[in-house]
Amino acid sequence: MNIHEYQGKEILSSFGVRIQRGIVAHNAKGAVDAAKELTEQTGTGWHVIKAQVHAGGRGKGGGVKLAKNLKEVEEIAGKMIGMNLVTKQTSAEGKKVHQILVAEDVYYPGDSEPEEYYMSVLLNRATGRNMIMYSTEGGMDIEAVAENTPELIFTEEIDPTVGIMPFQARRIAFNLGLSGASFKEMTKFVLALYTAYDKSDSSLFEINPVLKTSDDKILAVDAKVTLDDNALYRHKNYLEMRDIREENPVEVEAKKVGLNYVDLDGNVGCMVNGAGLAMATMDLIKQAGGEPANFLDVGGTADAKRVEEAFRLILKDDNVKAILINIFGGIVRCDRVAQGIVDAYKNMGDTIKVPIIVRLQGTNADIAKELIDNSGLDVQSAIEFQEAADKVQAVLA
Ligand code: GDP
Ligand code: MN
């Protein structure tokens, strides 16, 4: 689950990571109140107004602006809230800004040498360890750094059973070129950051930039945090951080009915039982010259109701030119699934306007094929994987 910058910072702060302080606001008046309150807390009269959307690259897209007085806070906030923010990570229409973060300006006026670093914590699936990636080249596009000067990106691997060792945090501070007070501050920052990542069951922290002020404070200016959905049951307080306005509406609906659905860009809708088979089916579609329009795992019980729900989700996507149903009848019998498909199809009347290819394999596959073939519906059946692929290819041609 992705969360907003301000929520990510709340989590960081709760584990003792120093952050750029801020208060979230939903309208221009709220922004002015927030700025006044921040000035009381921090003493600074300058603020940055930051659009809260689930997308990076806001700075370049006009979603991060400096306000030097309350009048500017009001003006900038008024314009930013309600706007559609377009960044490199959004679609062409952009994302609607519902709320903003009014934050203290931490780049002191006249500070000639604010240093910006890059730091992320994530799982290295190849080694089964956590890793901290970091670079002196923060603030900007880390993808460009990785592309052009990969030697400027360092990694520190951490054994999750042992946890981070102090010498590892010191090595990071050293590689970032720090010494004296800022070295100590960075060591503390890294240890707190890793602890936060670990204890919050996150799957990604990306802090870009981490800032070193001229008076040697180290703090998180930005925070991209992804929480592990499978661990949310033990962080009930994080559950309310979900902002479904930021999520794909079809995926939200799928979650409600308990279907595992991921929206993709292709033209062939898939309905499959089991994640592994779903992946294989997506490969098959590509081989047949199509592109998967979605990943959809209907799970173990492929009855008429679930099949119908799955149909409805897939058909919301106008790009879908064909649907491939690939079900293995292990626990569930194929003839049952076939009956479910026929019933769902009939229930949905003429809302289904694209050809459907059904491949049922496993218990009672023959009976299932007969059921489909005799249904009189625009559904083609297959038993072999390749046969299904050929039929997909034929309908796309
Ligand atoms: P992103 O563009 O979505 O990654 O948003 P960030 O939170 O990283 O902010 C983008 C840029 O805004 C940063 O790299 C900074 O250069 C700038 N910025 C952020 N906070 C401040 C601040 O307090 N003062 C000033 N002057 N600039 C800031
Ligand atoms: Mn950033």
Note whether 325 and 356 are within 8 A (CB): yes
Which tokens hold the place of 367? 């009976």
pLDDT value of position 203: 97
pLDDT value of position 299: 80
What is d(CA 106, CA 209) in angstroms, rounded to the nearest whole number? 12
**Where do the DSSP E strands lie in the chain?**
22-25, 47-51, 64-67, 84-85, 95-96, 100-104, 115-124, 129-135, 153-158, 202-212, 218-220, 224-227, 260-263, 268-272, 294-297, 322-329, 356-362, 379-382
The residues, any chain, with a CB within 8 Å of residue 273's CB and separated by 6 or more, are: 297, 298, 299, 300, 302, 327, 328, 332
What is d(CA 158, CA 121) in angstroms, rounded to the nearest whole number? 10
The residues, any chain, with a CB within 8 Å of residue 334's CB and separated by 6 or more, are: 327, 360, 361, 362, 363, 364, 365, 367, 368
Comparing CA positions, the residue from 25, 13, 15 lying closest to residue 50 is 25
**Residues shown for the chain:** 397
Side chain identity at residue 272, one-letter code: V
pLDDT digits (tens, 9 = 90+) for 140-159: 789 999 999 999 999 999 99
Locate tokens 């300058």: which residue? 46
Greatest pairwise CA separation for the chain in angstroms: 80
My answer on whether omega of the bond before 209 falls inside 30° of 0, hence cis, is yes
Cα 95 to its chain centre, rounded Å, is 14
Any alpha helices (H) in 153-291, and if so which ranges? 166-175, 180-199, 236-239, 249-256, 275-287
pLDDT digits (tens, 9 = 90+) for 282-315: 999 998 889 999 999 988 777 778 888 898 899 8
Comparing CA positions, the residue from 67, 96, 93, 104 lying closest to residue 80 is 96
* 3-class DSSP assignment, residue 85: strand
Q: How far is the CA of 228 from the centre of ligand 1 (A)?
A: 26
Helix and strand numbers (H, E) in the chain are: 14, 18
Residue 221 in contact with ligand 1 by CB distance below 6 A: yes
Ramachandran angles phi, psi of 46, nearest 5°: -95, 145
Q: How far is the CA of 138 from the centre of ligand 2 (A)?
A: 9
Q: Which atom of ligand 1 is found nearest the CA of 104? A: 23
Q: Which CATH class is domain 21-105?
A: alpha beta
Residue 94 in contact with ligand 1 by CB distance below 6 A: no
Side chain identity at residue 292, one-letter code: P
Residue 137 in contact with ligand 1 by CB distance below 6 A: no
Ligand nearest to C-alpha 140: 1
Pocket test of ligand 1: the residue of 5, 221, 224 to mutate, having most ligand atoms within 8 Å of its CB, is 221
Q: How far is the CA of 60 from the centre of ligand 2 (A)?
A: 10
pLDDT of 257 strictly over 80: yes
Ligand nearest to C-alpha 5: 1
Q: How far is the CA of 111 from the centre of ligand 1 (A)?
A: 15
Q: How far is the CA of 50 from the centre of ligand 1 (A)?
A: 8
Residue 139 in contact with ligand 1 by CB distance below 6 A: yes
According to CATH, the superfamily of the domain at 1-19+110-246 is ATP-grasp fold, B domain (3.30.470.20)
Which residue has a Cα nearest atom 13 of ligand 1? 139
Note whether 122 and 203 are within 8 A (CB): yes
Ramachandran angles phi, psi of 343, nearest 5°: -65, -45
Identify the residue with better confidence: 346 or 182. 182
What is d(CA 156, CA 158) in angstroms, rounded to the nearest whole number? 7
**Most confidently modeled range among 13-22, 99-108, 210-219, 341-350:** 13-22
pLDDT digits (tens, 9 = 90+) for 266-281: 999 999 988 999 999 9
Q: What fold is seen in the domain 248-396?
A: Rossmann fold (3.40.50)
Residue 331 in contact with ligand 1 by CB distance below 6 A: no
Pocket test of ligand 1: the residue of 42, 48, 76, 86 to mutate, having most ligand atoms within 8 Å of its CB, is 48
* Catalytic positions, written as ranges: 118, 206
pLDDT value of position 107: 87
Residue 48 in contact with ligand 1 by CB distance below 6 A: yes
Pocket test of ligand 1: the residue of 18, 19, 64 to mutate, having most ligand atoms within 8 Å of its CB, is 64
Ranges of each domain in the chain:
1-19+110-246, 21-105, 248-396
Strands 322-329 and 268-272: parallel
Identify the residue with better confidence: 387 or 132. 132
What pTM value is reported for the model?
Answer: 0.86
